[in-house]
């Protein structure tokens, strides 16, 4: 096959992170909330310098092909991320690729995809969130060695594939300001941030346990497309699937009525499960999903399970049946024996507010 010409262009490629970065071609600049989106940069903040996602998308995509030996029958456009070692991987699954079956001929100009491709840079197996995060309060971490790629594969009626692509540098600037982070922008990207809920104190001297509990259990919360998402960083042996009786429970008193309404849990024996006391209007177990990756557990609880942004909350983890770490109002205790162990006496009040997205039409 002789190929003389292959081009791909896009009106807007976008990327973003929790305090992350974005790119747009040309000289367009958009101010979105606390985040500035410009040609190659998105800058933002989170309260602890951490990143949940680097959500990216590309829209207004057009491509052309010319000089094929055989007529084209379809074309697939795919959104990819490239790690610092130059390895490209598709991101976004079905949301990150689209196939057009309405093309033809050996040449065609300015074929419009008419679809927005979306994905998360952190889906790439060679790109880790800690590469972008900033641990030091008041400082920024800048990375410039991640690329986005749009790759087009045109298939001819002879089952030949013609491949073309275009790359764009992605710069991520992560600011750690220990303040609530905002969500920003539909023009080029979105900043996805978790609010810090709490971390376990050191209660070794008070309760006589052998293990140090300080910081072994940290909880973050956020909204995400109809769900409350709770991310738990849980150190071993609390998080070890092979540890006897390792477990974690998150308790919710969503109407702040003095008794907990439901729990979502993980244990080394049972995996993810929920409990419901069937009080008030909570007559069914909560709708939730859970994932675990090493020491990180994520709980996705349906938005409809909550009365509003503010609710009472507790987190408790233990292993071996005796050593406990808590995020609670008491520190030493999570669950109270009052009201036949249904009391939310030691819960803390949490506000995981829906963050508004500012829109930009440029």
Flag whether pLDDT at 14 surpasses 60.
no
With cut-offs at 50, 70 and 90, classify the pLDDT of residue 248: very high
pLDDT at residue 193, rounded to an integer: 56
Helix (H, G, I), strand (E, B) or coil at 182: coil
Residue 156: pLDDT band with limits 50, 70, 90: confident
Q: How far is Cα of residue 311 from the mean position of the Cα atoms in its chain?
A: 22
Distance separating alpha carbons of residues 20 and 348, to the nearest angstrom: 30
Task: Tell me if 129 sits within 8 A of 50, measured CB to CB.
Answer: yes
Q: What is the mean pLDDT of residues 3-17?
A: 40
**pLDDT-based confidence at 290, cuts 50/70/90?**
very high
Helix (H) or strand (E) holding 334: none
CA–centroid distance for 160 within its chain: 37
78: cis peptide before it, omega within 30°? no
Residue 253: pLDDT band by 50, 70, 90 thresholds? very high
CA 121 – CA 67 distance, rounded (Å): 34
Residue range 79-100: mean pLDDT, rounded: 90
pLDDT score of 20 more than 70: no
Q: Tell me which of 288 and 113 has the higher pLDDT.
A: 288
| 213-228 pLDDT per residue, tens | 888 898 988 877 788 9
Cα separation, 69 vs 155, whole angstroms: 11
pLDDT at 40: 52
Higher pLDDT, 129 or 59: 129
Percent of the chain surpassing pLDDT 90: 17
312 alpha-carbon distance from chain centroid: 24
Per-residue confidence (pLDDT) for residue 143, from 0 to 100: 77
How many alpha carbons lie under 13 Å from residue 302 in its C-beta half-sphere? Answer: 9
pLDDT above 70 coverage of the chain, percent = 74
User: At which residue do the structure tokens 């045109």 appear?
Assistant: 154
Q: Where are the beta strands (DSSP E) in 224-302?
A: 227-234, 247-253, 262-267, 271-276, 288-293, 296-302
* Ranges 31-35, 286-290, 294-298, 347-351: which has the least confidence: 31-35
Tokens 């003389």 appear where? Answer: 4
User: What pLDDT is attached to residue 252?
Assistant: 94
What is the tens place of the pLDDT at every residue in 195-215?
Answer: 778 888 876 544 444 457 888
- According to DSSP, residue 340 is labeled H
Q: Indicate the helix (H) or strand (E) that contains 59.
A: strand 55-66
Residue 64 burial class via C-beta count within 10 angstroms: exposed 0-12, middle 13-18, buried 19 and up: middle
Helix ranges (H only) for the chain are 204-207, 338-341
Taking alpha carbons only, the member of 196, 238, 221 closest to residue 299 is 221
User: Which of 19-23, 102-106, 124-128, 141-145 has the lowest average pLDDT?
Assistant: 19-23
pLDDT tens-digit profile of 162-204? 887 777 777 777 777 654 333 332 223 444 557 778 888 876 5
Mean pLDDT, range 19-28, rounded to an integer: 27
């Amino acid at each position: 096959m002789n190929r003389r010409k292959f081009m791909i262009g896009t009106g807007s490629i976008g990327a973003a992170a929790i305090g992350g970065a974005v790119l747009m071609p040309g000289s367009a600049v958009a101010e979105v909330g606390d985040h500035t989106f410009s040609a190659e940069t998105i800058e933002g903040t989170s309260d602890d310098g951490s990143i949940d996602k680097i959500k990216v998308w590309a829209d207004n995509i057009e491509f052309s092909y010319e000089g094929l030996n055989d007529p084209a029958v379809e074309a697939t456009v795919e959104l990819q991320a490239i790690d610092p070692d130059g390895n490209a991987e598709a991101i976004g699954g079905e949301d990150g690729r689209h196939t057009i079956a309405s093309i033809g001929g050996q040449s065609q100009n300015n074929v419009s995809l008419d679809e927005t491709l979306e994905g998360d840079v952190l889906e790439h197996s060679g790109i880790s969130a800690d590469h972008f995060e900033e641990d030091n309060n008041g400082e920024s971490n800048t990375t410039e060695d991640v690329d986005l790629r749009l790759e087009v594969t045109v298939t001819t009626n002879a089952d030949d594939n013609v491949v073309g692509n275009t790359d764009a540098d992605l710069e991520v600037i992560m600011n750690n300001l220990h303040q609530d982070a905002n969500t920003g922008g539909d023009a080029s990207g979105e900043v996805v941030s978790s609010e810090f809920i709490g971390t376990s104190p050191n209660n070794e001297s008070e309760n006589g346990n052998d293990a140090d509990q300080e910081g072994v259990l940290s909880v973050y919360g956020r909204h995400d497309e109809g769900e409350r998402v709770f991310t738990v960083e849980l150190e071993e042996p609390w998080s070890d699937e092979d540890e006897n009786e390792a477990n974690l429970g998150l308790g919710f008193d969503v109407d702040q009525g003095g008794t907990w309404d439901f729990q979502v849990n993980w244990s080394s024996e049972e995996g993810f499960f929920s409990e419901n006391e069937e009080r008030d209007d909570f007559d069914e177990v909560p709708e939730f999903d859970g994932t675990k990756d090493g020491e990180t557990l994520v709980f996705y609880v349906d938005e409809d399970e909550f009365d509003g942004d503010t609710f009472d909350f507790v987190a408790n983890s233990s292993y071996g049946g005796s050593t406990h770490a808590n995020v609670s109002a008491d520190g030493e205790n999570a669950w109270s024996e009052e009201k036949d162990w249904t009391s939310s006496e030691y819960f803390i009040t949490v506000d995981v507010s829906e963050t508004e997205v500012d829109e930009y039409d440029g």
